[in-house]
Amino acid sequence: MSATITSPSRRILRLPEVMASVGFGRAHIYNLIAMGHFPKAKRIGVRAVGWDSREIETWIAQHLEG
Identify the pLDDT of residue 19. Answer: 99
CATH number of the domain enclosing 51? 1.10.238
The reply to whether 1 falls in a domain is no
d(CA 17, CA 36): 20
The reply to whether 7 falls in a domain is no
Residue 3 predicted with pLDDT over 80: no
pLDDT band at 66 (very low <50, low <70, confident <90, very high): confident
Note the pTM of the prediction, 2 decimals: 0.83
Q: What is the pLDDT of residues 6-41, one digit of tens each?
A: 556 899 999 999 999 999 999 999 999 999 999 999
In the three-class reduction of DSSP (H, G, I as helix; E, B as strand; rest coil), residue 66 is classed as coil
Residue 1 predicted with pLDDT over 70: no
The reply to whether 50 falls in a domain is yes
| Contact status, residue 41 vs residue 33, Cβ threshold 8 Å | yes
d(CA 13, CA 48): 11
**Structural domains in the chain (count):** 1
**What letters, b where the CB count within 10 A reaches 16 and e where it falls short, cover 30-41?**
eeeeeeeebbeb
Q: Which range marks the domain in which residue 16 is found?
A: 12-65
The reply to whether 44 falls in a domain is yes
The reply to whether 5 falls in a domain is no
The reply to whether 41 falls in a domain is yes
